[in-house]
C-alpha cells in the first residue's frame, strides 16, 4: 500500500525522495545573532565602502550560471594592492540542479575559506566580503528553513570558528 507522500509523488510526476532536498530545522536559537556584521547597501554606498573601507583585506565573491553550469568564485585583495592575493573557484554542477542562490552561497563560503587558507597576518583588522547576492545574505539571518540551508549552515559554522580567532568579518552586499 502506498503512503500519501508516494501518492503525491506519482500524481504530480515528482522525482523519488532520494532526489529531493532534505531541509533541516533551524539550527540557531531564537536569540541568536550572526557572527558576521552584515550590511545590505545601495550600489553607490557599497562601491564607496569597497573602495575606502579601512580593512586589511577585501574579498569579492559571486555565484552564477554559465554555459549550463553553476559556479562560484572569490578573490582576495590585500589593502592597497591591485593584484589579487588569491582566487578560489568552484563548479557546483549543472544549472538544472543548482540555483543562483546556491552559487551565491558557495561564493560566500569560498570567501570565508580564502581567509583560512591565504591570510597569514596574525592580527588582521576586519575583513570585508563584498557580493551581490542579497538572498544569500538574508539567509544568514533567517531563523526559518530554506532551500540551500546546508550551504547557509556551513557558512555560519565557518564564520563562528573564525569569529573565535583574531579578526572579524563584515559582509556588504549590493542591492
Q: Is the pTM of this model over 0.75?
A: no
Q: Is the pLDDT of residue 132 over 90?
A: no
pLDDT, position 92: 93
Per-residue pLDDT tens over the stretch 19-61: 655 555 555 555 556 666 777 788 788 888 888 888 888 889 9
Per-residue pLDDT tens over the stretch 57-108: 888 999 999 999 999 999 998 877 889 999 999 999 999 988 888 899 899 8
Please enumerate in sequence order all residues whose Cβ is within 8 A of that of 25, keeping only pairs 6 or more positions apart, or say none. Answer: 145
Domains and CATH numbers, the chain: 32-174 (3.30.420.10)
pLDDT, position 43: 79
Please enumerate in sequence order all residues whose Cβ is within 8 A of that of 29, keeping only pairs 6 or more positions apart, or say none. Answer: none
Please enumerate in sequence order all residues whose Cβ is within 8 A of that of 14, keeping only pairs 6 or more positions apart, or say none. Answer: 8, 20
Distance set, CA 55 to CA 79, 99, 160, 168 (Å): 7, 31, 20, 10
Q: Is the pLDDT of residue 175 over 50?
A: no
* Rg of the chain, C-alpha, whole Å: 18
In residues, how long is the chain?
175
Task: Cell numbers for 143, please give them.
Answer: 531563523
pLDDT, position 164: 62
* Proportion of the chain in helix, strand, coil states, percent, rounded to 5: 35, 25, 40
Please check whether residue 37 is in contact with residue 168, taking contact to mean a CB–CB distance below 8 angstroms. Answer: yes
Q: Is the pLDDT of residue 172 over 70?
A: no
**For residues 112-121, average pLDDT:** 77
Four-point Cα dihedral 108, 114, 120, 122, nearest 10: 20
Amino acid at each position: 500500500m502506498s503512503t500519501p507522500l508516494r501518492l503525491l509523488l506519482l500524481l504530480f510526476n515528482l522525482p523519488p525522495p532520494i532526489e529531493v532536498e532534505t531541509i533541516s530545522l533551524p539550527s540557531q536559537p531564537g536569540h541568536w545573532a550572526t557572527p558576521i556584521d552584515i550590511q545590505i547597501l545601495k550600489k553607490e554606498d557599497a562601491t564607496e565602502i569597497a573602495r575606502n573601507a579601512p580593512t586589511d583585506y577585501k574579498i569579492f565573491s559571486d555565484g552564477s550560471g554559465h554555459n549550463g553550469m553553476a559556479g562560484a568564485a572569490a578573490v582576495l585583495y590585500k589593502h592597497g594592492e591591485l593584484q589579487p592575493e588569491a582566487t578560489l573557484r568552484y563548479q557546483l554542477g549543472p544549472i538544472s540542479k543548482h540555483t543562483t542562490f546556491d552559487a551565491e552561497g558557495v561564493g560566500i563560503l569560498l570567501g570565508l575559506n580564502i581567509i583560512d587558507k591565504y591570510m597569514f597576518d596574525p592580527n588582521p583588522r576586519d575583513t570585508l566580503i563584498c557580493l551581490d547576492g542579497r538572498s544569500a545574505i538574508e539567509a544568514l539571518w533567517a531563523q526559518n528553513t530554506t532551500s540551500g540551508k546546508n550551504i547557509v549552515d556551513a557558512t555560519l559554522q565557518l564564520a563562528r570558528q573564525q569569529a573565535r580567532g583574531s579578526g572579524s568579518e563584515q559582509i556588504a552586499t549590493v542591492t
